[in-house]
Amino acid sequence: MPIYKSEKLFHTINGIFFIALSLIMVAPLINLAAISLSSHQFADTHQVYFWPKGFNFDVYRYIFQQPELWKSLSVTIYITVVGTIITLFFTSTIAFSLSRPFMPGKTWILKGIIITFIFSVPLIPYYLVVRSLGMENTLWALMIPNALGAFNVIIMKTFFQGLSAEIFDAAYMDGCSEFGIYGRIAVPLSMPAVATIGLFHAVGQWNSYFWALIFIRAKSMYPLQIILKRLIVEDDAGRTFGSDDSLLSAFTPEQMKAGIILFATIPILLVYPSIQRYFVKGAMVGSLKE
């Protein structure tokens, strides 16, 4: 099929546009990296933009020596990984059940799920329920209550319904149970949707700090975003890490904030390349029909 000049021009302009858009999105991270790696003389006078001036690694040397940051990072990794696994299990099981044609009462269950999508739970009843279940001041309060979302259930249900019914019929003829069909056929064939939902939930869980402010009392269970809030919003580096370290004189507070933002951002960014091939397919769920 010949490619016309107008089509080539469109693809060229489209590519330039998205490259420029990507650069705009990456520019803040590059600027933060340049500030955190520069000498404090240049950072103080706002002479650093996208390339470090007077390389200085004291910011990261100081950050890596803080046990509070490593503890909060481990907490964040734990609630992100375990919370995402819980979410995928709950979402996939209920979505698979709702996608089966012979499930009794599935219409009313689906309507109840959609209601939760339209009307959110008020904060005070939400808090009272979590406290009555004994999850207050535990990491379960950050993972269980938000594990099931109506939007994710609908997306997963739609994907399950798009699978070929002949595959399920053949599994039945081979003596496979509903649990076997779910675990051996439905979930493996739905990895694009699973990866997409898992990525969205993991990013949201990684960046969440509000529920930790509400439910967590022990400092040892603070996620990384609580530390970031203290440093950036409340500007409270002294109370968080202490101010008697000799390295503090080698960089400015803005440089430390830039370094800690990158410290908290880069780990979740590394997740994207590993599931990119699934994410591209899952993002198109429902957009194509056979």
Give the model confidence (pLDDT) of 174-230 as tens digits.
777 878 888 888 888 888 888 888 888 898 899 888 888 889 888 888 898 888 887
| pLDDT for res 87 | 93
pLDDT (average), residues 22-35: 85
Contact 62, 188 (CB under 8 A): no
| pLDDT for res 245 | 52
pLDDT tens sequence across 124-153: 888 899 999 888 889 999 999 888 888 888
Residue 286 binned pLDDT confidence (cut-offs 50, 70, 90): very low
What SS3 state is found at 228? helix
Q: Which amino acid belongs to residue 30? A: I
pLDDT tens sequence across 36-49: 888 777 777 777 77
Rounded to an integer, what is the distance from CA 116 to the centroid of its chain? 21
Contact 141, 135 (CB under 8 A): yes
- Is the confidence at residue 277, as pLDDT, over 70? no
Max mean pLDDT among 7-21, 108-122, 269-283 falls in 7-21
Domain ranges of the chain: 1-56, 58-282
The CA-atom distances, in angstroms, between 202 and each of 53, 177, 186, 195 are 35, 31, 22, 10
Tokens 């269950």 belong to which residue?
Answer: 109
CATH number of 58-282: 1.10.3720.10
pLDDT (average), residues 145-172: 84
Q: Please, which residues have CB within 8 angstroms of residue 86's CB and are 6 or more apart in sequence?
A: 143, 144, 147
Average pLDDT, the chain: 80
| pLDDT for res 4 | 64
